[in-house]
Structure 1
Amino acid sequence: MASAYAKEHGARSGTADARRTAVYDFITHDLLGNLLSGLLVTASAPTARRLRDGLRNAVRDRRRRR
């Protein structure tokens, strides 16, 4: 027997509604989360490289002054 919410929103049964919710949760949380984190890592790589090189050069210059 479908719930009132399911009937109102066109779901055939509670199982179908739950299945749709599980698929929606997977797509929105897992796939989009992985996509966004991948984009952030890709976008931040040049900045991370600049920071690494800057720190390495600062340490190297400090050692040379001693």
Structure 2
Amino acid sequence: MAGKRQHLTVDELCEELGIARSTFDDWRAKGRAPRCLKLPNGKLRIRRSDLEAWLDSCMENAA
């Protein structure tokens, strides 16, 4: 994981997954997005470990 940030912004997550912000917002509203941390300023961050676990769960569901 060298060179990868441990906490991603929503924009960074969307760029990495190649999705629109509206898609992320829709997934989050439906409870289908990776776990998010809400900072005191209201901004969201996603732990890389939570993203990796979420991606693994998506692969299992696709099988």
Q: Shared fold by TM > 0.5?
A: no
Which has more helix, going by share of residues?
Answer: 1
- The structure having more radius of gyration, on CA atoms, is 1
Normalising by structure 2, report the TM-score. Answer: 0.28
Normalising by structure 1, report the TM-score. Answer: 0.27
Which has more strand, going by share of residues?
Answer: 2
More RCO (CA 8 Å, sep 6+):
2
